[in-house]
Structure 1
Amino acid sequence: MTLTANWSYPTAVRFGAGRISEIADACAAAGIKKPLLVTDRGLAGMEITQKTLDLLDAAGLGRAVFSDVDPNPNEKNAAAGVQAFRDGGHDGVVAFGGGSGLDLGKLVAFLAGQTRPLWDFEDIGDWWTRADADAIAPIVAVPTTAGTGSEVGRASVITNSETEEKKIIFHPRILPSVVICDPELTVGMPPFITAGTGLDAFAHCVEAYCSPHYHPMSQGMALEGMRLVKEYLPRAYTDGSDLEARAHMMSAAAMGATAFQKGLGAIHALSHPIGAIYHTHHGTTNAVCMPAVLRFNRPAIEEIIAQAARYLGIDGGFDGFCAYVDALNDSFQVPKTLAALGIENPDIDRIVAGALSDPSTGGNPVKMTAENTRALLLEIV
């Protein structure tokens, strides 16, 4: 089967190996004539990034790059990126990388034309309507990992460095105009990142599937996304050059991020404050939290998880699914506790407070309270 296609859900996606060669045409389609490529420090000097800049330069679009992006990007990174965008007279952004580069790139495009401060646009109520939509610069997104799915998302996750809280900035126009999903760009990911990002995609699918909100389209997408992770993440982990596995994982990432329009839940509600305070890898933190959250939600999800298990070819219903998740984590050497993740004596009160204020909490199938969230957290300490 040829894994090459053009999709238009939820935005224009050019999917297939080698399609980074279309980056200049993608910019033209988005109306960008002078792009700023935004990526993280680790990617800035890598061959895939330099090749992309060469392609832009050869097309007369320049080779401007901003890479002062932390693994959990914050408002300082955003301010510096906006300054680089304005100083360079850019008219659009190529958001390039994993979740950090994609989220920060989208945020730079969003903020560059605004006059209000960043936190005025936090995802609370209708705060997104405060933005001047016409001032949002166009975005071309190029993922280089298969996890967050931020390339097909309408939001950016940004850490408030002063309060050490992860916040979500939402606006419909943050959705990139064009996405290039080229699995060849993910071939160089080390096994640890392949596993962590892949488990992030899996967490998105599981939580979207379990969310009590009504969204059958997302439900189906989440279920098939789980199947792709089950079938292809072990292959991508074992052989990073397995292009078929890399392609299916790139699809699963985009599917998970599209599916969680239905909602997320306690996995992300916990991992967001943990990551913001202790700077852990997001996908790996999700994986650490998932077994305990499945047990926590059992009264509300036992039957639908049993249905998912049947679709995925997992015997044993809910318990079989949980055993599968444990075995999957073990196969990637995922720590079982926060202590094993390197977090000694975590601030329980602070994490619980952060979890209860996180937007993901509202999508959890079991209502989260201070008491039961504390008990849940203590299971993974």
Structure 2
Amino acid sequence: MNYDHFTANWHYPTNIRQGIGRIIELPEHCKDLGMTNPLLITDPMLAKLPMVSQVICNCRDHGIKCEIFHDIVSNPTKQNILDGVIAFKKGEHDGVIAFGGGSALDAAKSVALMVGQILPLWDFEDKDDSWTRVKTETMASVIAVPTTSGTGSEVGRAAVITDVDAQVKRLIFHPKMMPSIVILDPELTLDLPPKLTAATGMDALSHALEAYCAPGYHPMAQGIALEAIRLIKNYLLRAVRDGQDLEARAHIMVASTMGATAFQRGLGAMHALAHSLGALYNTHHGLLNAILMPYVIKANRIEIEDNIRRLSRYLALKDACFDGFLTWVIGFREQLNIAHTLKEIGINECDATRIGIMAFNDPCAGGNPIQFSEKQYTDIFINALNGNI
């Protein structure tokens, strides 16, 4: 099959180089940004795969000295960032290649931020005007290369980092954390296992869906979210069933980037709860969003029903109404072999009140169509725990 029509250069919201095999262009993009000795930041599992060694060899073959840092956990911590900063300075690096899934990308963007700062990491948490404290002139440039299709961190201006001491996830933000160049090469996702393909794809759906339903005024973001949801509906199941389906992989990768582009309009209760649960249970973020999705949709019904009805028509659902859409979400998850309840993935009720408080205080709660109370968040959690929709 000729995949030329899947190749494009976009300049929104940053410089994106999309297409099969475009990872080969990485050395050229390093040179464009003045990088001669970048630090490639990835996770331990990816670091063992041939694709990473091939990328490093390609860089070195083109005169780019490239070293690797991979001491990152699945939900990156402050210590991971501090260790990355040490590696960056010790190697006298001049830029960052963020390579991997959301954890690696978030960690890499945070390292690139912190190599030029005097203040500690938590001083740049997304609260009030904390971002104005950043010394932008000493931040490192970032090239982002996602290898999953879910988080969309490659086009994000923030990173989610776990505060181990407080057992919360903190959002580190600055507009210049947005990577300068993004390479979207679907070939890099071909070996992603079905379960991770499904969980990350549902993460992308949660981004687009919450952005679409958010109350803020941003018609452009809402339109992008709408099309991202359609692409996920049409192609995610294909990618899960046949990991070598390049057409499906390409569309889901773009949909992931679109979902993250759209969520500048806002996220909501799915993410407020997923952040809280992820901090306490160290569970995959995309899986949490996938399980929480129908329970949050139902809780938001009174405010989002008209939007969901329009979305259902755009998706050409047979039953184009709120209940029809909710039924489709539940059925879609089932086809993807995703659990229906939080209990099925080992979460219990012992922290229910605490989770409600944490979700209420999460930054994403402010973007939800309804401003739920702590008790309401606890109730949604318990419903998702027991399967009560």
TM-score normalised according to structure 2 size: 0.97
Q: Does 1:123 align with 2:143?
A: no
Quote the residue 1:135 is aligned against: 138
Q: For the Cα contact (< 8 Å) 1:4–1:16, is it kept in 2?
A: yes
| Alpha-carbon distance between aligned partners in 2 of 1:346 and 1:153, rounded to the nearest angstrom | 34
| Alpha-carbon distance between aligned partners in 2 of 1:47 and 1:346, rounded to the nearest angstrom | 43
- In structure 1, list runs of 5 or more residues that go unmatched: none
Quote the residue 1:14 is aligned against: 17
| Alpha-carbon distance between aligned partners in 2 of 1:30 and 1:348, rounded to the nearest angstrom | 48
Quote the residue 1:86 is aligned against: 89
Q: For the Cα contact (< 8 Å) 2:37–2:93, is it kept in 1?
A: yes
| Alpha-carbon distance between aligned partners in 2 of 1:30 and 1:201, rounded to the nearest angstrom | 29
| Alpha-carbon distance between aligned partners in 1 of 2:298 and 2:284, rounded to the nearest angstrom | 23
Q: How far is the alpha carbon of 1:337 from its aligned partner?
A: 1.5
Higher mean C-alpha deviation, range 42-51 or range 252-261: 42-51
Q: For the Cα contact (< 8 Å) 1:121–1:169, is it kept in 2?
A: yes
Matches within 5 A, 1:345-364: 345-364=349-368
Q: How far is the alpha carbon of 1:59 from its aligned partner?
A: 1.5
Quote the residue 2:337 is aligned against: 333
Identity %: 49
Quote the residue 1:176 is aligned against: 179
Which of 305, 314, 324 aligns to 2:317? It is 314
Give the SS at the match of 2:274: helix
| Alpha-carbon distance between aligned partners in 1 of 2:32 and 2:353, rounded to the nearest angstrom | 49
Q: For the Cα contact (< 8 Å) 1:73–1:159, is it kept in 2?
A: yes
Quote the residue 1:144 is aligned against: 147
Q: For the Cα contact (< 8 Å) 2:99–2:146, is it kept in 1?
A: yes
Q: Does 1:216 align with 2:219?
A: yes
Matches within 5 A, 1:185-264: 185-264=188-267
| Alpha-carbon distance between aligned partners in 1 of 2:136 and 2:357, rounded to the nearest angstrom | 33
Letter in structure 2 aligned against 1:380: A
Letter in structure 2 aligned against 1:156: A
| Alpha-carbon distance between aligned partners in 2 of 1:298 and 1:210, rounded to the nearest angstrom | 10
Give the SS at the match of 1:276: helix
Deviations 1:280-306 (Å, cap 9, x if unpaired)?
Answer: 111010011001000000000001101
| Alpha-carbon distance between aligned partners in 1 of 2:221 and 2:98, rounded to the nearest angstrom | 25
Q: How far is the alpha carbon of 1:345 from its aligned partner?
A: 3.5
Letter in structure 2 aligned against 1:353: I
Count the aligned residue pairs. 381
Quote the residue 2:7 is aligned against: 4
Quote the residue 1:344 is aligned against: 348
Q: How far is the alpha carbon of 1:346 from its aligned partner?
A: 4.0
| Alpha-carbon distance between aligned partners in 2 of 1:83 and 1:178, rounded to the nearest angstrom | 24
Q: For the Cα contact (< 8 Å) 1:356–1:370, is it kept in 2?
A: yes
| Alpha-carbon distance between aligned partners in 1 of 2:289 and 2:33, rounded to the nearest angstrom | 34
Q: How far is the alpha carbon of 1:376 from its aligned partner?
A: 1.2
Quote the residue 1:371 is aligned against: 375
| Alpha-carbon distance between aligned partners in 1 of 2:241 and 2:134, rounded to the nearest angstrom | 45
Q: How far is the alpha carbon of 1:367 from its aligned partner?
A: 1.2
Letter in structure 1 aligned against 2:374: A
Give the SS at the match of 1:299: helix
| Alpha-carbon distance between aligned partners in 2 of 1:135 and 1:42, rounded to the nearest angstrom | 30
| Alpha-carbon distance between aligned partners in 1 of 2:219 and 2:10, rounded to the nearest angstrom | 20
Q: Does 1:70 align with 2:73?
A: yes
Query: Post-superposition, which runs of at least 4 consecutive aligned residues in structure 1 deviate over 6 A?
Result: none
Q: How far is the alpha carbon of 1:264 from its aligned partner?
A: 0.3
Give the SS at the match of 1:188: coil
Q: How far is the alpha carbon of 1:50 from its aligned partner?
A: 1.1
Which of 313, 324, 336 aligns to 2:328? It is 324
Letter in structure 2 aligned against 1:255: M
Superposition CA RMSD, Å: 0.8
| Alpha-carbon distance between aligned partners in 1 of 2:83 and 2:352, rounded to the nearest angstrom | 33
Q: For the Cα contact (< 8 Å) 1:31–1:138, is it kept in 2?
A: no
Give the SS at the match of 2:172: strand
Deviations 1:95-121 (Å, cap 9, x if unpaired)?
Answer: 000000100011100000100000000
Q: How far is the alpha carbon of 1:163 from its aligned partner?
A: 1.1
Give the SS at the match of 2:343: coil
| Alpha-carbon distance between aligned partners in 1 of 2:350 and 2:328, rounded to the nearest angstrom | 28
| Alpha-carbon distance between aligned partners in 2 of 1:126 and 1:63, rounded to the nearest angstrom | 35
Higher mean C-alpha deviation, range 43-52 or range 254-263: 43-52
Give the SS at the match of 1:37: strand
Give the SS at the match of 2:300: helix
Which of 153, 157, 168 aligns to 1:154? It is 157
Q: For the Cα contact (< 8 Å) 1:13–1:178, is it kept in 2?
A: yes
Quote the residue 2:301 is aligned against: 298
Deviations 1:287-329 (Å, cap 9, x if unpaired)?
Answer: 1100100000000000110100000011321101000000011
Which of 285, 289, 292 aligns to 1:289? It is 292
Letter in structure 1 aligned against 2:15: A
